[in-house]
Structure 1
Amino acid sequence: MPFYRSSPACGTGDHSILFGNLSTLNPREQINGLTSFLDASTVYGSTPAVENKLRNFTSKEGLLRTNVRYYDNDREYLPFVDQVPSPCAQDPNSDEAERIECFMAGDSRSSEVISLTAMHTLWLREHNRLAKALKKLNRHWSSETVYQEARKIVGALHQIITLRDYIPKIIGPEAFNQYLGLYKGYDHRINPKASNVFSTAAFRFGHATIHPIIKRLNAQYQDDPVLPNLHMHEVFFSPWRLIKEGGLDPLLRGILAKSAKLLMQDQMMNEELTERLVVLSNNGSLDLASLNLQRGRDHGLPGYNDWREFCGLPRLETQTDLNTVIANRKVAEKIMELYSNPNNIDVWLGGLTENFLPDARTGPLFACIIGKQMKALREGDRFWWENSHVFTETQRHELRKHSLSRIICDNTGLSEVPPDAFQLGKFPQDFESCDNIPGINLEVWQESNQQEETCGFPKGVENGNFVYCSEFGKSMVIYSCQHGYQLQGEEQLTCTSRGWNFQPPVCIDINECENQINPSCHTSAKCINTIGGYQCVCTDPYELAEDGRTCLDSGRIPKGSLISIILGVTMVSGLAVLSWIVICRWTQSANGSAQANMLKDRTHLSAETDSKKHHEMKTSQPNILVEPADKIVVLSSVVKN
């Protein structure tokens, strides 16, 4: 089974020698390609380049891009990727003209399974719903302001739903109170990075909760004969099933009404993941459990016992010790048979097999690692939604009302949902009408646009935005420019008895290409300034990398070289043909001269013969020589030619 190692971070492992670290041991570390913060990067991407691909810059409402070919009962789908044809599977009953490409979202894995695609689609719709509503409330907002405010709300909802509604059910209320507790504010001393053991081992507990069957249910939450159940391997990288087989609604009903797989010590992962896992980078089937184990070894994670000690849990030294944390004796014996000593056990396997904590879906080790990581993400993030300067108190009050169930109600055709989307219930007794599911009142985001008696409402600036504040009889406006522009004039204006204390500023274009200290484009690319931005251009055969700044070798022959090659081949071919024509004509001319000389000789010979014959006829009439008829014809033909 193929396995690809994670890329090393610069200056670690063997690469440290290149950075001059010759005397100190510098263990290999891995690059985290995604932001660690709970900031809805799955919706907006982790880099500006990805974010720009996802945005609809032509909209005045700050929207995200949507699919322009397909709709789900007038609701949006994710846009397709730019790379066509994409590697996603196709409907075997459709022809090539009806291709359904992979979807594009903030995370490149959005098309991995259709249930994951459904969640990505749900958040796309929620952003656009919020953006349209905010624009109606604040007509003076620019598209950039609307986009950023909607993104800010979506980021807050990700944080609320994850820590309030999901994590307590995973690690249990006791571990939640022990490792997280109440929010006490931003702490600059806390490192919010995603730890290696969290991303490589602990949070992969979720692989053992994936159900092998995908259900799609009708409006009564019953099996739909038109949309039968699917095995997991039938939905890997198959976005066509979402578009052609009912859209989001039947799929979300199946997710809400079907429990996650229960992690059992003697049946941790279903065979759809260990025998039939499909990834785009490999043609065969893979084993996710084996990949998880090998990934931990690739990253050099310490063993199971070391992490138990890190969390203040007792080390396990014997089979008897192992039996205290693994109720299934046969599983404990099998682990000891394979590893010989508890110190050798891989942390992913050891943490996964532990007995669950009360009201939890993990054991004490994973509860500790997940809890500590969530605390770091919460208190090490200065933009955390509960931090006092991020939202107003009234806005935080409204955000607390929202839930995943409300998001489903607002963005699908479902009319009844469970009050808590993470809590399994029976239909209809445990479901509520969407009319009874609370949600955000966005009016608390509305800015006052009434004319200020003394100064009047502030003037807008082209290619810029402003925030207008009026409180306790004092009015103030703060201006800012859109990306690619810089402010010229006063940033902050205050209303006085004589009017605004300064004239509104203007936003002028920044020539990013003049920045020599921190160039906008890599040295391999040429920078071209545009209004409100810039463009990095690569010379053929190089093409622009995903970061939008660097040129990469495309592996193609340069167009200029290709044209030169074509012209060269054409010229050589032309010369060859011309030479051949000259040679042929010269040969033909030479042959013609030879034939003419031959004819001349034959004519001369014939004349001499005729003269001789004539002489003989005169001297001896009885001895007349007659030329055969066939030779005359042949000679005649030679003369004519």
Structure 2
Amino acid sequence: MGTILCPSRVKTSLSEGALRPSDLLAQFKQIGPQTRRHISAAELLDNTVELIREMVYTSTMAQSSLPDLLSEEDMQVLLQATGCSSEMQRPLCKTGCLSERYRSFTGECNNRQHPKWGAANTPYSRWLPPEYEDVRGVPRGWDPEHTYYNYTLPPVRLVSQDVLYTHNENISLDSSLSHLLVEWGQWIDHDFALTPQSPSTAAFRTGADCTRTCSRDTPCFPIQIPLSDPRTGIQSCMPFFRSAPSCVGSEAFTGATPHHHREQLNAITSFVDASMVYGSSSPMAAALRNLSSPLGLLALNDQASDQGLLFLLVTVCLWVKLPVFCCLGDSRANEHLGMIALHTLFLREHNRLVRELHLLNAHWSPDTLYQEARKIMGAVHQVDTLLHYLPRVLGETPTSLLMPPYRGYDPEIDPSIANVFSAAAFRFAHVTVQPMVARLGPGYSLAPQHPPLPLHHSLFASWRVVQEGGIDPVLRGLLLSPAKLQMPGQMMVEELTERLFQAQGGMPLDLGALNLQRGRDHGLPGYSSWRGLCGLSVPNTTSDLAGILGNPGLAEKFLLLYGTSQNIDVWVGAISEPPLPGGRVGPLLACLLAKQFRALRDGDRFWWEREAVFTSTQRAQLHTVSLSRIICDNTHITRVPSDPFSRTVSPEDMLACSHPLIPHLNLSAWKEPDTGAVLLTLIPHLNLSVSP
């Protein structure tokens, strides 16, 4: 993959190529060869079993006997024939000092007894059994006439229009939190979850193109446009692909073992390990390194300069009339300007750490420098997320109650990302996104050469970073801009519900509808079931729901749409709860987020607070980690807030990078003696004579 960069061609290709929004959405879920092999094998297995079911069912067998259709022996033959058997093999865990010192790229063998827990290319965990439309794993709402608790499910686009839609101008700003907090949520989400969509783009039975058909036929699960929708007459549906199945626990197992259901795959490691910077496989990690460097550097693009600093590597990711260039690595870096800025920032930070460590430990090999910097980077993300990000989301008091102090690694805890967390709970921040992307010049002033942008003009627009001032204006905008405040009647801005990918041509998508459809695709139970799991009251009446939501009008709207609180999609129900004191999420989201982050912390053998991972001196230094310091060290920005996640009202409140409240990470705690040099100093004092 070359280090090419042609910004003008990128811009032209987007304007002339008529990319469909679904094309761009697919680009955000680019996966590696191992993941492609896995989901192709899983899809082949599911399709094979479905054909067998259909042939038998249409001939002699009654539907009630379908669970006994395939024996365990039959399934083993199919697993072998489709390639799923090789994907399900238990990995062999290495022993030795390196395996104790550094985590694997894939996340395998983090837990020695359960080497697949938290690893890439394993299914999401389930905290509640899925509720599909049938035993085969058909999504909720597949049949519009199918009833749940005596009510049909409303079209997701109708829910988006009635509950979520918010005019860009009709928003309230958060008085306490910066937009960098919103961006960090998406950034860290890209560290532990990536759900690949089906490898097929055409319907299994009919061969219809999923981007053009409005018929439901796996993997096509199009979002229908209701008659009341403003888009009626323009389009009948929005394209939607089902998430790819996993070989482990895929819907095919329902034939042999009814307790198994269709499960979706997490293509990356579940751990907070900065895998969006380094990759979740050895081949990707190698592709991102500068292997010609004697220092263990990551590769950056040397053909374009950000005032002397370098950009990400890029490669051709799409061909339309002209090539479309994307940043190399995690494909989601290309989603919008904020993601590109953070990816660039942390690649630069890795290289800065490597050079500093080399000055301290000239005897370290390139691999040691690379791995030690990677280890520090993982710890930086753990510190910033658990100590700084999460308390602002949950609130300080709920955090102290829901996140008890760290007590060490627990090998009985599964750190895998839960399906409900990935497909619903951690999408809460979508309702805190501002409709405008602020870009600011030096001194945090408006600059005519890079003005503020409507959000949809910043999507898939990596060329803007190169041509319009680099990453500094974007980061300044994130630091000074407040987050959007989530309130009833002010849920999701129209930039996301009506203009998603509009700038690239084609009919825009609706992020709210996509979120709801994804939850149904994954068989997530309804809102009330999750409140029950968390030990919260379950609403049975309109007044119950109104009391929980603190809004009788919203409660009535929900029950008019869904009929019963049992049917409310968990994502939209959870984001509708009023926030806990000092936080930005309600009781249900606080429960689900804390449950997941506790598992990520306590089930990680390489968690930064574990005594065997860093020395006490190193841990003390890591505790002082500051995102503001990282911005100072890797950009031309000279003034930053002491707390980058809190709202800074005025540029005058920013601090100079030299201020004591913006501390440096003192890497002297990582200095090791050169054993060779030590031995040379000891030789004169050693009695090396050999007795006869």
TM-score interval w.r.t. the shorter chain?
0.5 to 0.7
- The partner residue of 1:135 within 354, 358, 378 is 358
Q: Which residue of 1 aligns with 2:380?
A: 157
Q: Which residue of 2 aligns with 1:276?
A: 499
Q: Which residue of 1 aligns with 2:537?
A: 314
Q: Which residue of 1 aligns with 2:669?
A: 444
Q: Which residue of 2 aligns with 1:432?
A: 655
Specify the SS of the correspondent of 2:680: coil
Inter-partner Cα distance in structure 1 for 2:296 and 2:507:
42
Equivalent positions of 1:547-586 (< 5 A) are none
Inter-partner Cα distance in structure 1 for 2:347 and 2:362:
22
Inter-partner Cα distance in structure 2 for 1:139 and 1:280:
50
Inter-partner Cα distance in structure 2 for 1:452 and 1:297:
63
Give 1:129 deviation, angstroms.
0.4
Q: Which residue of 1 aligns with 2:433?
A: 210
Q: Which residue of 1 aligns with 2:569?
A: 346
Structure 1 451/499 Cα, relative in aligned 2: closer, same or farther at 3 Å?
A: farther
Q: What is the one-letter code of the residue matched to 1:237?
A: F
- Tell me if 1:28 matches 2:262: yes
- Alpha-carbon contact 1:395-1:445 (below 8 Å) kept: yes
Give 1:175 deviation, angstroms.
2.0
Inter-partner Cα distance in structure 2 for 1:445 and 1:341:
58
Where relative contact order (Cα < 8 A, 6+ residues apart) is larger, the structure is: 2
- Tell me if 1:15 matches 2:239: no
Q: Which residue of 1 aligns with 2:424?
A: 201
Structure 1 499/41 Cα, relative in aligned 2: closer, same or farther at 3 Å?
A: farther
Structure 1 352/499 Cα, relative in aligned 2: closer, same or farther at 3 Å?
A: farther
Structure 1 332/432 Cα, relative in aligned 2: closer, same or farther at 3 Å?
A: same
- Tell me if 1:303 matches 2:526: yes
Instruction: Encode CA deviations 1:447-466: one digit per residue, 9 max, x unaligned.
Output: 1237767x427xxxxxxxxx
- Tell me if 1:37 matches 2:277: no
Q: What is the one-letter code of the residue matched to 2:477?
A: G
Inter-partner Cα distance in structure 1 for 2:650 and 2:441:
12
Specify the SS of the correspondent of 2:326: coil
Q: What is the one-letter code of the residue matched to 2:671?
A: Q
Give 1:243 deviation, angstroms.
0.5
Q: What is the one-letter code of the residue matched to 1:294?
A: Q
Q: Which residue of 1 aligns with 2:293?
A: 59
- Alpha-carbon contact 1:71-1:77 (below 8 Å) kept: yes
Structure 1 375/143 Cα, relative in aligned 2: closer, same or farther at 3 Å?
A: same
Equivalent positions of 1:197-276 (< 5 A) are 197-276=420-499
Inter-partner Cα distance in structure 1 for 2:248 and 2:557:
40
Inter-partner Cα distance in structure 2 for 1:499 and 1:198:
66
Inter-partner Cα distance in structure 1 for 2:296 and 2:502:
34
Give 1:62 deviation, angstroms.
0.5
Give 1:68 deviation, angstroms.
2.3
- Alpha-carbon contact 2:455-2:495 (below 8 Å) kept: yes
- Alpha-carbon contact 1:322-1:332 (below 8 Å) kept: yes
Equivalent positions of 1:87-486 (< 5 A) are 101-105=325-329, 107-278=330-501, 283-436=506-659, 437-449=662-674, 455-456=679-680
TM-score (norm: length of structure 2) = 0.62
Instruction: Encode CA deviations 1:220-277: one digit per residue, 9 max, x unaligned.
Output: 2122122211001111111110000011111111110001111122121111111111
Inter-partner Cα distance in structure 1 for 2:242 and 2:503:
16
Give 1:427 deviation, angstroms.
2.5
Give 1:23 deviation, angstroms.
4.6
Structure 1 243/182 Cα, relative in aligned 2: closer, same or farther at 3 Å?
A: same
Structure 1 135/378 Cα, relative in aligned 2: closer, same or farther at 3 Å?
A: same
Inter-partner Cα distance in structure 2 for 1:358 and 1:151:
36
- Alpha-carbon contact 1:77-1:121 (below 8 Å) kept: yes
Inter-partner Cα distance in structure 2 for 1:224 and 1:279:
25
Inter-partner Cα distance in structure 1 for 2:446 and 2:655:
20
Specify the SS of the correspondent of 1:377: helix
Q: Which residue of 2 aligns with 1:548?
A: none
Structure 1 452/45 Cα, relative in aligned 2: closer, same or farther at 3 Å?
A: closer
TM-score (norm: length of structure 1) = 0.67
Inter-partner Cα distance in structure 1 for 2:658 and 2:519:
47
Instruction: Encode CA deviations 1:84-108: one digit per residue, 9 max, x unaligned.
Output: 6667xx9xxxxx7xx7721113x21
Give 1:426 deviation, angstroms.
2.1
Q: Which residue of 1 aligns with 2:243?
A: 6
Inter-partner Cα distance in structure 2 for 1:330 and 1:69:
56
Inter-partner Cα distance in structure 1 for 2:377 and 2:356:
13
Runs of 5+ consecutive residues of structure 1 not aligned to the other structure: 91-95, 458-472, 476-494, 501-641
- Tell me if 1:46 matches 2:283: no
Structure 1 167/442 Cα, relative in aligned 2: closer, same or farther at 3 Å?
A: same
- Alpha-carbon contact 2:295-2:370 (below 8 Å) kept: yes
- Alpha-carbon contact 2:251-2:263 (below 8 Å) kept: no
Q: What is the one-letter code of the residue matched to 1:318?
A: T
Inter-partner Cα distance in structure 2 for 1:257 and 1:269:
21
Give 1:434 deviation, angstroms.
0.5
Specify the SS of the correspondent of 1:220: helix
Give 1:179 deviation, angstroms.
1.8
Inter-partner Cα distance in structure 1 for 2:478 and 2:256:
54
Instruction: Encode CA deviations 1:259-309: one digit per residue, 9 max, x unaligned.
Output: 111112212111111111129999531111111111111111111011001
- Alpha-carbon contact 1:10-1:16 (below 8 Å) kept: no
Structure 1 397/11 Cα, relative in aligned 2: closer, same or farther at 3 Å?
A: closer
Inter-partner Cα distance in structure 2 for 1:51 and 1:336:
49
Q: What is the one-letter code of the residue matched to 1:431?
A: M
Give 1:12 deviation, angstroms.
2.8
- Alpha-carbon contact 1:100-1:240 (below 8 Å) kept: no
Task: Tell which structure's C-alpha radius of gyration is larger.
Answer: 1
Inter-partner Cα distance in structure 1 for 2:522 and 2:287:
32
Give 1:120 deviation, angstroms.
0.7
Specify the SS of the correspondent of 2:276: helix
- Alpha-carbon contact 1:266-1:328 (below 8 Å) kept: no
Structure 1 342/232 Cα, relative in aligned 2: closer, same or farther at 3 Å?
A: same
Task: Give the number of equivalent residue pairs.
Answer: 450
Specify the SS of the correspondent of 2:473: helix
Q: Which residue of 1 aligns with 2:312?
A: 78
Inter-partner Cα distance in structure 2 for 1:347 and 1:60:
50
Inter-partner Cα distance in structure 2 for 1:259 and 1:285:
26
Equivalent positions of 1:620-639 (< 5 A) are none
Structure 1 14/371 Cα, relative in aligned 2: closer, same or farther at 3 Å?
A: closer
Q: What is the one-letter code of the residue matched to 1:322?
A: L
Q: Which residue of 2 aligns with 1:485?
A: none
Inter-partner Cα distance in structure 2 for 1:303 and 1:174:
28
Q: Which residue of 1 aligns with 2:120?
A: none
Q: What is the one-letter code of the residue matched to 2:239?
A: P
Inter-partner Cα distance in structure 1 for 2:686 and 2:262:
61
Q: Percent identity?
A: 46
Q: What is the one-letter code of the residue matched to 1:225?
A: P
Inter-partner Cα distance in structure 2 for 1:185 and 1:148:
23
Structure 1 229/189 Cα, relative in aligned 2: closer, same or farther at 3 Å?
A: same
